[in-house]
Structure 1
């Protein structure tokens, strides 16, 4: 199965072509903010260099969040359009799961996160089970660092895991609080700490395809636009999908 995968969730842009679990090629741009200008050329470059056309792709995959509101929409809109027009499979992958999947340590609790400022993080924790599958054990969410580390502490208390690895952005400034857990820990490498489309492609191989129209971003917190919409309409907050579909 040929899978074309995209991540525009952060300031790191990544596009990859996978053949089943093998990463054929991955293209990355670091610290760029203009994903809308660079995404299509990267996709085209990968296709041309591999003598492929979009119609030759069997499945499209994309990081659906958390992440940059604008960035997520760019990637998701692009793959939705491809999948809808070409009548191909499309899969959404948690940005945090993609980060966690860069770690292969079965003896550590993997905490994946994206700095959301003011000591807040989009984060979740994962383990690799005996079958080699990545399992989400602390749900992806929007956490203050104290709440996140309390959840980590509670999980460690009732599990066999005695080590931690923090993958993603912003955790290195929380070293003092992390040390208070009194558990050996490490940080991810520079390569692990960014989202890779090739990993998204690997994860997408085992995921169930969805209707392109139902592929929506997972922000994990209210956008300012949604807050303003609530104030204007007086309608209660519901799932992100209700708001996204209405506007």
Structure 2
């Protein structure tokens, strides 16, 4: 199965072609979130280099969040369009699970995280070969996140933690107080790679493109402002976790 995967969730733009879980080609670019300009040419380059067209792709995969609001919309809209027009399969993959996929130590608690500023993080904890989401993907203050890590480690007799993603190194003194053995991801591991999204996409269930939605994990400022102005409740089916 040929899978074309993309991520526009962070300032690291990545596109990959997989044959099942084997990465055939991957292109990466630090483009400071100019994804709308660079995404289509990168996709075309990968297809051309592998003598393929979009019609040859069996499944499209994309990081659905958390991440940059604008970035997520660019990537998700692109694959929804491809899947709808070409009548192909599409799957959405957690940004955080994709980061965790790049860590080999599956006997460790893997904490995938993205700096959300003001000591807040988009983060999730993953464990085992199947990368079970043992600390739910969410929006956490650093103190809350470290408490969740401590709780899971104590309850499951885990003494090794791997942090992958962005921002945790500035809290090294707090991490030390956990009393656990810990390591940080390498520079490459801390970046989001489309090839890993493709690997995860192999066993994901395809969904209707119209149902592929971003997972922001916190409310947008516009939504918060609307709620304050109108006094109306947030929609019950809103796929958000926390207002900040």
> TM-score if structure 1 supplies the norm length?
0.94
Residue 196 of structure 2 aligns with which residue? 199
Q: CA deviation at 1:104?
A: 1.3
Q: CA deviation at 1:225?
A: 1.6
Q: CA deviation at 1:30?
A: 1.7
Residue 105 of structure 1 aligns with which residue? 105
2: CA distance, partners of 1:149 / 1:159 = 15
* SS state at 2:174 partner: helix
Residue 240 of structure 1 aligns with which residue? 238
2: CA distance, partners of 1:137 / 1:9 = 22
Residue 245 of structure 1 aligns with which residue? none
Q: CA deviation at 1:82?
A: 0.3
Question: What runs of 5+ residues in structure 1 fail to find an aligned partner?
Answer: 243-247
2: CA distance, partners of 1:125 / 1:54 = 35
Q: Does 1:213 align with 2:213?
A: no
Q: CA deviation at 1:241?
A: 5.4
**Residue deviations 1:175-219 (CA, integer Å, cap 9, x gap):** 000000011101000010011000000000000001100000000
C-alpha spacing 1:214/1:224, structure 2 compared with 1 (3 Å)? same
Larger displacement relative to structure 2 (30-39 or 186-195): 30-39
Q: 1:63 touches 1:92 (CA, 8 Å); kept in 2?
A: yes
Q: 2:102 touches 2:196 (CA, 8 Å); kept in 1?
A: yes
Residue 187 of structure 1 aligns with which residue? 184
Question: What runs of 5+ residues in structure 2 fail to find an aligned partner?
Answer: none
Q: 2:217 touches 2:239 (CA, 8 Å); kept in 1?
A: no
2: CA distance, partners of 1:106 / 1:196 = 18
Q: Does 1:167 align with 2:129?
A: no
Residue 226 of structure 1 aligns with which residue? 223
Residue 72 of structure 2 aligns with which residue? 72
1: CA distance, partners of 2:24 / 2:216 = 30
Q: 1:36-115, aligned counterparts within 5 Å?
A: 36-115=36-115
Q: CA deviation at 1:234?
A: 3.4
**Residue deviations 1:106-138 (CA, integer Å, cap 9, x gap):** 22100000000010000000011xxx2111000
Q: 1:67 touches 1:219 (CA, 8 Å); kept in 2?
A: yes
Q: 2:98 touches 2:196 (CA, 8 Å); kept in 1?
A: yes
Q: CA deviation at 1:21?
A: 0.8
1: CA distance, partners of 2:141 / 2:114 = 12
C-alpha spacing 1:222/1:147, structure 2 compared with 1 (3 Å)? same
Return structure 1 stretches of 4+ with deviation > 4 angstroms: none
Decide which of 133, 149, 153 is 2:150's aligned counterpart.
Answer: 153
Larger displacement relative to structure 2 (222-231 or 156-165): 222-231
Residue 136 of structure 1 aligns with which residue? 133
Number of residue pairs the alignment of both structures matches: 239
2: CA distance, partners of 1:61 / 1:176 = 38
C-alpha spacing 1:218/1:233, structure 2 compared with 1 (3 Å)? same
2: CA distance, partners of 1:2 / 1:25 = 11
User: Over aligned residue pairs, what C-alpha RMSD do you find?
Assistant: 1.2
